[in-house]
Structure 1
Amino acid sequence: MEDAPIEDGENHKDIDVAPALISVHPAQESVAVTVGSELRVFDLHGGGSAVSLVDDSHGPFHKDSIRAIRYGANGKVFVSAGDDKLVKIWSTESWHCICTVSSEKRVTAVALSNDGLHVCFADKFGVVWVVDLDSVDSNQALVNKKAVQMLAHYCSIITSLEFSPDGRFIVSADRDFKIRVTVFPKKPLDGAHEIQSFCLGHTEFVSCLAFVSTSEYPQGFLVSGSGDSTVRLWNISSGSLLDTCEVEVKAGLLESNRRGEECNSAITDLCTIPDCTMIAVAIQSLQGIVLLSCDLSARTLSIAKVVSIMGETFIPTSSRASFSAGLLWMVAGVSNLRGFDHPSLARVRIISGFNKSNLDPQEFEPIVLEDNEIPGGYKLLEKLQGSVAVEEKVFLAAAEAVKTAMSNLLVKKQYSVEKREFRKRTRNDRKTKQ
């Protein structure tokens, strides 16, 4: 990797920008979108209706930008967390907040164990915490729970957390190019002390993780996206790199996206399709997604399709697939966008056609659904997007704001000797001597 430019050490104010996020119930019973501190949920049962969240703490659900949301594997629990240092655990049956856990630092990623008994979350200082849900009653709100430190990266922002399909490992990625595979212990509250492997090879921050698995390969293989514009395939047992796909180059996006810029276009999100070997990849400046095909027997990645969203500016910030309906849900949007009438905005789009386990990537023709064709229709869009129409230039500005915020937050800065000495002298986190 080439040396990063020397920074002048000034604070970056753009990091307040938070991308919109989306999460889908495993059986597609509900869909959740976050924009800043807003958590919007739509129930798809029956004719579909907007969900009213209930939090008996009598305060706002979240006081600052939400940075991570996740449904549990069985769909009974939903977790939201973010910059307000709160981890909220919701029952998806009643949409009551059944537990609020305080974090010492801002939360950057969440994951739920496959058995639904543990919530893990990571913070900006590289610590992964665990909360035991064994005694939590979905019909009782405000359970007092405390998080316990389980493992840690060395002072590096953790960007993604994932459990392996068999539940044996928890995988954590950080901005220092590392992916750590840790054996998930039988007693997580006692800490996780056994490292299975490190997956090393990215040359920029690791932004996202996902697992590809099928009935023939139930243990699955790990895929990772990075600021180096690559998606990589890993064997987590050994930490060995199986294949690297230079997505931006191989999809023919280099010239159209980089526009003379010196940096790569980061992979911002990965979403694997359940019971399928296709991976949806979101890239910083691409108006649409790239579909990768993973040949698990050959351990290779290849470009299957580039799906463009025509007729509007739509650069996804998050995507999730439903287990049952074969749909890929995507959201584009941002909060805290300065200088516009609509500082928080979101746009939801859906791609269909992923309902076959034996999809042939060469014959697969994805379909981008029109607004009136999506589950929940206009009622869902009004809840998840809001009813205000937003101009195209605002979405373009939002995409650039997210790009700048990600770079400022995750690209490691280098300082001159003089600036390093100045920062040491003026640092405000030293402990005061008694």
Structure 2
Amino acid sequence: MTHFVVIGAGQAGASLVAKLRTEGFDGQITLVGSEPVPPYQRPPLSKAYLLGEMEEERLYLRPAAFYEDHDITLRLSATAESIDPAARTVTLADGEVLSYDALALTTGSHPRTLPAAIGGTLAGVYTMRDLADADAMAPELIEGRRVLIIGGGYIGLEAAAVCAKRGLEVTVVEMADRILQRVACPETSDYFRDLHTAQGVTVREGIGLTALTGEGRVTGATLSDGSQIDVDFAVVGVGILPGTALAEAAGLTLDNGISTDPHCRTSDPHIWAAGDCASCLFEGNRIRLESVGNAIDMAEVAAQSMMGKDVSYTPAPWFWSDQYDCKLQIAGLNAGYDAVYVKETGEARSHWYYRGGRLIAVDAMNDARNYMIGKRLIEAGKSPSPEVICDPETNMKALLKA
């Protein structure tokens, strides 16, 4: 019987195996995951789950029974140690060897950590990526305690929002000139700085971390301006790295992640990749999209391609972040933007990015309607003038038909 093996039981892996069955694949499927629980949603971990507003079972992408009902072998608490592309086998940490006809790598990503030399291994220093991270951090969220958030990107700011809502004393340090500098325009940075400051968060920009201090457990921090602060725990949000170790050891081509062709196939004809670990071509550039939407869409194309169907993946970037009562929705990629225009509609606000007169991205804050319109305009390759976009009298929906 044909055997498809999928390594990585996150959003991409779960989407891929489900798509195989809905597309009619009737062979053997094995999904290998290193965690002890079925595939689950990661975005709520740093939001509703950490706040205690969501039960663990509600995180699961599908009930545990789904995999048995669809004859999918779910290998939990299992780690793939190596791939032999010539023999088409995967060796697990317990010594078991799985033979495959087609293999998919959905190995996701892992957070960057701080070096031990500057206190990164002290107790009370956390990253926020998986269920175990959230469970470990939850007992720290006690009103009045002091937390240092290292990194002013979306991960750090979401953690800051949760801690502030729980009544903690929150300090965010960002070594770049402004929060969100790598991913957003100054207008978006200003919006979220004001949002956090209004909630009592101290945001310190242009200041890095020199060292976390403490005997066994973190109790303080020394910052790059020479100042020292007392902390009860720290959260590190300084980016993520693609999970490429298995692929690299197997000799697959890497290029900003595991390099894939338009069919999500790697440099090995029997191995595919999807999700955070994989890169694809977008407008002539090789990119990785760290988002739920990309994980699902790419995985579903990979599933069909593994079955021999002639399908291609066309990235349609979109992202979101929840902070306090603000829902940020992002469509497109803002790389290389040369102008940003602000549209305000009551309490809603959106920032429209242009490059050479072409609309390339939009950030929408509590503005779902304009987000959807912007997303559809970008996908259709339409670029209304900024004057039209920002005119409060413009019928935005009509722009889709223009």
TM-score exceeds 0.5: no
| Structure with bigger gyration radius | 2
Q: Point out the structure with the larger strand share.
A: 1
TM-score (normalizing by structure 1) = 0.24
TM-score normalised by the chain length of structure 2: 0.26
Higher helix share: 2
